Structure 1
């Protein structure tokens, strides 16, 4: 996860200073570096997250090279904790290493603000556009993750949403109806009491209702942010002023705190891996988690005890404004310092094309961003209900703006929310106290950046 606020802020400030005083990038050839030839191939480098970089290098690049054999792609994996800082230094420093960079959903405004990314819909790259690349086919929810201030700086390469997984066998054993997009939080908590159960009859509880993020982590607040949004609330208004410091915000945070009552012992330390493992081992009936883990949770026998027939997926329980979800899209853009923008744009267009997306969906279980893929024949039987939940989730996310703040300081805001959320989860503060403190710190942060003045 992203580093502490001061480190990211310092990296941003140093990087921007270097960009201001550093030497200009070399002049880019008129042909954008070309697409290479058999005797003189073109090489490009991509900085990606190490969670999937090796998959890309070992399987995705060879597939790309079947069509473009003269573009040699190197994908460098970076730990998530280091990726934002390293990418900022790359875009604002005096030397250029990477032609294409990846951004997690909340990072895009910060990276775009450097001025070092191409507008992918702009005239500079138009001469290398693939005539068959269909922008209109990309669902607006994941596409919007790569937009900022009216420009398209990146395209979705790994789409994701926060979804509700449920174990059908445990629901049946508890005599509880399976959840749907119409299930409310009130109904969910009523069911949760029954889902804490003794499944083998030895008189001891061995299965619990829920697992999700609970400890200090930038992704932990996305759960109560989803509750906030599903009740019509927002973190910030259009002027970037805090709007969650009210009864709605406190209720949303308390909802996540109350989930601990129905979670396994020790769940207050859960981040990403712990709730995933508990659900895959049949220890929890539901899991609020990123949908992209579905294949590893319901299909891949080496990582799970469950089967597709046992695992259902839907949106999070509904509030007054409808069901809940949270957008989490990896997008990719092209550095203006690249000496091979033609090859880099060709790579990104293929990767996010109908052809490329269908390959990644089949090979990796990656969620699609294109409507034609969502509505078409899925790569496997298990994907059909997942795609249906994903498409509904896209609509829900757009309707109620279910994503982290869209501003360059998004990561810093999320770090504050992570700290205060963890205080409420651990009992160090009440939900009211945590919300009040988070609101105070975020207001001060944004004020120093000139918002609302």
Structure 2
């Protein structure tokens, strides 16, 4: 199947962009976290410019998405024209030979105003593999620090700044666990984030590790995290549980988000794209923009922290509507599309020009400032998950051993040694 896909190459007929009499139909395989929003709001906006391209977006749960995408790309008769790739997936998807080289194969359809050099290098790099640009950022994201200004003030703790170190943060955490109603029971806590077995849980200690100069893999793709710096980073993540609400050991994405929105935690380490639903939308939060701060994660010895999480749009090279597919991807990643997405959906932009502009929505200004710093830190510290053709297996191993360390709080060193041994074996298969 892989051989068939690799030999396919771009479709000879692009399908064009359709006409009123003969519209083009596109299908997109996307994450269910944003598929409905795109279908209901993004597609009508895109159709103002390209009315003859009909778009259907199918949402898939995150845990199933990579496997379904790989099956799709290696199928004899692919269904989808556009597939979405999380940050570490592009190498694995590109290995099928079934993705379009966007700078080369789509060059003749690309608008002259589409400026590749305007992209911030950190998010654009998520769609590149071995010198080929297979994807472009359509939903940029970074793991960032949210903080509740009122809870910090009430606890007598200074608001975080980008100069805040992990040592500072951990020394302040006990003061942020408080009984606010005088009934003798704590009802607000310092922190909420990922703690349970989940592929994204290791990104928290990975960011701490990177901020202290560590790299997960060395130049030969050998594990390089089972050392004193890695152990200290994982131990910091484990110790956050002491200052989190009861039951936080089972938390993934949703639980810390809900706790923070309800004013139960003073800080949250989560994906920055939740800012709008956390600080702006009264339907989803009890907080307001003047109560919520957002910035990079605390600093290590080398830099502050921010883990990259970019959703890139890629095009199936054997599809019959490659030109129309590129027109949608091009529009959504253009300056025009980014500005619309940011102001309407609260989606983070990837272009320098967008980040340097004055957004229509005032609440985006501090977000853009934090995002620019986060991109710079990610680029400097290589703050992303392993980028390999079997990156999902590597991240699964890290998740498994992180869960071991969370359950056995004195076993961080052993957990990382075991993870390194398993990963080395996986990478030599």
Question: Shorter-normalised TM-score: what interval?
Answer: over 0.9
Question: Which residue number in structure 2 is paired with residue 179 of structure 1?
Answer: 160
CA positional deviation for 1:367:
0.6
Deviation at 1:96, TM superposition (A): 1.1
Match of 1:135 in 2: 116
Q: Which moved more, 1:127-136 or 1:384-393?
A: 127-136
Of 2, 7, 23, the match for 1:41: 23
RMSD after superposition: 1.4
Distance 1:21 1:316, change over 3 A: closer
The alpha-carbon deviation at position 383 of structure 1 amounts to 0.9
Shift of 1:20: 2.4
**Equivalents in 2 of 1:296, 1:446: separation in Å?**
39
5+ long unaligned stretches in structure 1: 1-17, 449-453
Aligned to 1:54: 36
* Secondary structure in 2 matching 1:45: strand
Q: Distance in 2 between matches of 1:26 and 1:333?
A: 14
Whole-angstrom distance in 1 between the partners of 2:90 and 2:180:
46
1:28 to partner: Cα distance? 3.1
Q: Summarize deviations over 1:313-343 as a string: whole Å, max 9, x none.
A: 1111111011011000000111111111111
Q: In structure 2, what is the equivalent of residue 20 of structure 1?
A: 3
Secondary structure of the equivalent of 1:48?
Answer: strand
- In the other structure, the counterpart of 1:283 is 264
CA deviation string 1:179-224 (max 9, x = no partner): 1110011110111111011222333211100000000000000000
Within the alignment, does 1:113 sit opposite 2:99 as a pair? no
Aligned with residue 421 of structure 1, among 402, 419, 425: 402
Distance 1:440 1:81, change over 3 A: same
- Aligned with 2:50 (options 68, 73, 77): 68
The CA deviation string for residues 372-428 of structure 1, in whole angstroms up to 9 with x for no partner, is 111111131111111100010000000010001111111100000000001111127
Report the counterpart of residue 368 of structure 2 in structure 1: 387
- Maintained 8 Å contact 1:164/1:314: yes
User: 1:23 touches 1:94 (CA, 8 Å); kept in 2?
Assistant: no
TM-score by length of 2: 0.98
How many residues get paired? 429
Aligned residue in 1 for 2:131 = 150
Cα shift readout 1:273-300 (whole Å, capped 9, x = no counterpart)? 1111111111100000000000011111
- Give structure 2 stretches of 5+ with no counterpart: none
- Asked if 2 retains the 8 angstrom alpha-carbon contact of 1:185 and 1:319, the reply is yes
Could you tell me how far apart the structure 2 residues matched to 1:222 and 1:351 are?
27
